[in-house]
Amino acid sequence: MLFLAALDVAYARRLAWPDPHLQTSPLYAYLTGIAPGPVWALMWGVVGVLCGWGAFRVRDAIAFTAAMVLKFVWAAVNLLGWLFAGLPQGDWATALWVFAALVVYNVANWPEPTDETGCRT
């Protein structure tokens, strides 16, 4: 969960304060045509903070769900950009983010560890 928090916060930072290389990329132009960079950054940042919070909670389903949904949304944005806006490598980005979302789904469904009494630790 802390890995997801770090990933999402880092991605938020990249979108909030893009370097010149990102600003000239077709993906960034496509994204900012949908919503301003800070809006995307806020979305990633909120999920990152939620994952950071969820890392220290026994009931972490909300954080895992948010992380998974965000990755599926990002995959959908890339897929739509590839299909309808000619976004270069949108197919590759779609596959990457779907895979990331499925990994999050898989990890979220691991059984909780228990101690010798059968209680969650």
pLDDT tens-digit readout, 1-15: 999 999 999 999 999
- Is residue 11 within 8 A of residue 61, CB to CB? The reply is no
Which of 33, 35, 40 lies closest to 17 in space, CA to CA? 40
pTM: 0.88
pLDDT at 121: 56
Token pair listed for 111: 């059984």
